[in-house]
Homo-oligomer: A and B are copies of this chain.
Amino acid sequence: MERFAVKGIFVDTPAPSTLRVRDGYMLCEDGRCGAFTESVPAGVPVYDHSGQIITPGLVDLHLHAPQYSYCGTAMDLELLDWLQQYTYPEEAHYADADYARAGYGYFVRDLQHSATTRACIFGTLHTDATLELMHQLQTAGLSAFVGKLGMDRNSPDFYREPSPAAGLAETRRWLDTCAKEQMLHDGPVRPMITPRFTPSASDEYMKGLGELAAEYKVPAQSHLSENPSEIAWVAELCPGTKYYGESYSRYGLFGGDVPTVMAHCIYSGEEECAAMKANRVMIAHCPTSNENVIAGIAPAAKYLRGGWRIGLGSDVAGGHTLDLFAVMAAAVQVSKLRWRYVDQSEAPLTMTEALYLATVGGGAFWQDFGEQVGLFEPGYAFDALVLNDSALHNLRSFTPAERLERYAYLGKGALSAKFAQGKKLF
């Protein structure tokens, strides 16, 4: 049994509005948190980060690995045009194994050095490239659900599966390979059924993906109610559905027995919101992306305070950064603009709530698979970030809450160390 202790100022959020601060030693046993103590038992090795803020690892509920290569460019279009002009051509490159290895190499290197310890990740249509991504993430010591994309309509010929049957056959081959490699239900990196979004998947394909999710007992992810034009399009494509979410739920891809992450949920109406809550759909709130692709501002404060399941997503490359601390700050910022311009019924998010979203909120998705994530509590996965904020020091003294806030907002700090499931990544 591997056992060590870490010394520092541990900051976490047992409740959305509670920032807990404890200065001392956290024991780590076999990848999980043990007791918090004020002194360390004899013989236990210590990583001494005295005086440094230590937060739980951050959870990125939504990002597109192949888009990382152009992250921070092409920020001049709305969603649907952006997909056609930038996204599809780039993702198509991942048919090439060398390109995929190199592209995912940069992505995984940077994700490993980021604040993210766990993520739900979209790949491309390509089974082999998606397996390559999964292997690299595993080697890097990260936890992730990864999706081979499903897409058989409304994209250019060069980047579309030729038929629902072909797409489903590839998806099955991918899941079978995962099973063979012990990645289906075990290990830190696992598959997730991933129709890109309703406009990209025909009814027959969506139905087949729902059946595969049930058959292989794997979770699902997709996009929901991101943009008014997209929502209008889905209504056209899916006659008989009362709201966008039904285009997933009618095929068993909307929570319930198939734990599901839905990105965005900006314009979800009452019925859709009720269905998300009833089915325990996990909302991935992606504030940076929602600005960049001119989507809008999701009612994240309402979701968090009203009992929905919600975490944060970087949504690279709609989002311009992998850095979830920056995404936390953006979540607070856009919630203020929402308050000012859209709806004053909920006060803006606080930084404590943003940390909750990025740790306990998103971490809750792993609970559906038997892992506790997002707090420094006995039994929780020991995912931890040691924040080096020495570049931010000045003549004032700051509370730990203020140091966290400055670290998130100023973006000029660095990580001294990162632990994922008790393994020190650097």
- A residues with a Cβ closer than 8 A to B are 68-76, 99, 102-103, 106, 288, 291-292, 294-297, 320-321, 323, 326, 329, 332-334, 336-337, 339-342, 348, 350-351, 392, 394-396, 398, 402, 405-406, 408-412
Contacts and interface: CB of A to CB of B under 8 A. Distances in A.
Give the copy number: 2
A321 to B, nearest CB: 6
Given A333-B291, A348-B294, A71 B410 contact: yes
B409 A321 contact: yes
Helix, strand, loop or mixed for chain A's interface? Answer: helix
Contacts of A336: 291-292, 294
Contacts of A329: 320
A320 B76 CA distance: 25
A412 B413 CA distance: 10
Given A71-B406, A106-B395, A395-B102, A341 B339 contact: no
Contact of A396 (B70, B321, B342, B411): B70
Nearest to A320: B409
Contacts of A412: 323
Contacts of A351: 75-76
A332 B410 CA distance: 19
Given A72-B405, A294-B339, 13 more contacts: A69-B394, A71-B409, A72-B409, A72-B410, A99-B395, A102-B395, A103-B395, A288-B333, A291-B333, A292-B336, A321-B409, A321-B411, A334-B337
Contact of A320 (B288, B321, B342, B410): B410
A336 B76 CA distance: 9
Nearest to A398: B73
Nearest to A294: B336
A73 B402 contact: yes
A337 B406 contact: no
A302 B106 CA distance: 40
A292 B336 CA distance: 7
Contact of A341 (B342, B395, B409): B342
Nearest to A295: B340
B337 A394 contact: no
A403 to B, nearest CB: 9
Contacts of A321: 409-411
